[in-house]
Structure 1
Amino acid sequence: MNRTRLVLTGLAVAAMIATSGCDPQPESQDAATSPSPAVSSATPTVGAATTAASTAADTAATVKACADIKKDIKDNASKIAKAEKIGPPAGHFAVSAQWAAGSVAILAHAIGANQAVTAASEKIQNEMMSLSDAYNTSADAKPSKKALEAAIKELDAACSAA
């Protein structure tokens, strides 16, 4: 059982590493398109503009992360349903592996999001890993998904505030 868990965790980490480089962060075009500002007493407005641009980029990254995470949750649910149809004993390994893979996708897409969305996505990831562990432990496992549903509601609230 420990070997299976180690292999599943290794695969999940490999998937996270592979997908983490897929979405490059947007680059600021301010430096490339505008000339350097002259040093004067009006310089503080440049800092304010930079902060506003940074905040807009952070908000855009958070909105994208929310959309990607919600898509991951739906995709994972359909894959879990397919894996559950396999039935025990082999099916519980497939379900466990899918919960682990889904949790990695959640973490990968949370990169760059604001703190509230990141915290909520970490709770979802933890709950998914708990479900993975429960299915890995018992072929007849029917763990409660209430904690996962609560974490998803917390993500929805964090995303709607962004």
Structure 2
Amino acid sequence: MYRSPIVLSGFAIAAVIAMSSCDPQPTSEGSATSSTPTASSAASSAAPAASSAAPVIDAATTKACDNIKKDIKDNADKVAKAEKIGPPAGHIAVSAQWIAGSAAVIAHSIGATETVSSAAEKVQQEMSNLSDEYNKSADAKPSKKKLEAAVKELLAACSAT
């Protein structure tokens, strides 16, 4: 029982590493360390910091939002399928899926605006919390209200971009 969180954490770290290397995101336009800007970052920085108070719409943020929305839907489908297995094996599968979903969300938020990244981090944290709750007991039925609120915040951040 004590090895489960360690094993799941290892899987989550491996998933983040694997997913982050699959689709490199361009750096944000505020980065001065990039020596060769990509086409998408060059296009998004055509109007630099002229209106720094308004959110900047860039390709990386749009892509991140699209990917994260898809991740959340995909994760919900997989969690529902794992819940049908039933305790205790089903709870282990559900817990693992919440961790995998949280890793996908955080991996796809890389390169997005600070607002979207912050909202994605809240979603990731709530998914991780649900994983922990499912690990505590085979009879666990944790509330998803905090996750739903975090998802609404993410969707609002994405629609503002």
- Normalising by the residue count of structure 2, what TM-score does the alignment of the two structures yield? 0.82
8 Å contact from structure 2 (residues 25, 110) kept in 1: no
Q: 1:135 and 1:19 mapped to 2: Cα distance?
A: 24
- 2:2 aligned partner: 2
Give a deviation string over 1:85-121, Cα, whole Å, max 9, x none: 0001111000000000100000000000000100000
Give a deviation string over 1:35-60, Cα, whole Å, max 9, x none: xxxxxxxxxxxxx84737xx9x9611
Larger gyration radius, structure 1 or structure 2: 1
Q: 1:103 and 1:17 mapped to 2: Cα distance?
A: 13
SS at match of 1:144: coil
Q: 2:124 and 2:24 mapped to 1: Cα distance?
A: 22
Q: CA, structure 1 residues 116+101, in 2 after alignment: closer, same or farther (shift >3 Å)? A: same
Gapped regions of structure 1 (runs ≥ 5): 31-47
8 Å contact from structure 1 (residues 58, 112) kept in 2: no
Q: CA, structure 1 residues 21+158, in 2 after alignment: closer, same or farther (shift >3 Å)? A: same
Q: 1:144 and 1:2 mapped to 2: Cα distance?
A: 23
- Normalising by the residue count of structure 1, what TM-score does the alignment of the two structures yield? 0.82
Alignment of 1:77-88 (within 5 A): 77-88=76-87
Q: Give the count of matched residue pairs.
A: 142
Q: 1:3 and 1:146 mapped to 2: Cα distance?
A: 28
Alignment of 1:74-113 (within 5 A): 74-113=73-112
Q: What is the aligned-residue RMSD (CA, Å)?
A: 2.1
Matched, 1:51 2:51: no
Q: CA, structure 1 residues 21+3, in 2 after alignment: closer, same or farther (shift >3 Å)? A: same
Letter in 2 for 1:117: V
Q: Percent identity?
A: 66
8 Å contact from structure 1 (residues 83, 91) kept in 2: yes
Q: CA, structure 1 residues 117+92, in 2 after alignment: closer, same or farther (shift >3 Å)? A: same
- 2:72 aligned partner: 73
Q: 1:2 and 1:58 mapped to 2: Cα distance?
A: 44
Q: CA, structure 1 residues 28+58, in 2 after alignment: closer, same or farther (shift >3 Å)? A: farther
8 Å contact from structure 2 (residues 102, 127) kept in 1: yes
8 Å contact from structure 1 (residues 58, 113) kept in 2: no
SS at match of 2:66: helix
SS at match of 1:51: coil
Gapped regions of structure 2 (runs ≥ 5): 27-36
Stretches of 4+ moved more than 4 A in 1?
none
Q: 1:25 and 1:58 mapped to 2: Cα distance?
A: 15
Residue 21 of structure 1, CA deviation: 1.1
Q: CA, structure 1 residues 24+69, in 2 after alignment: closer, same or farther (shift >3 Å)? A: same
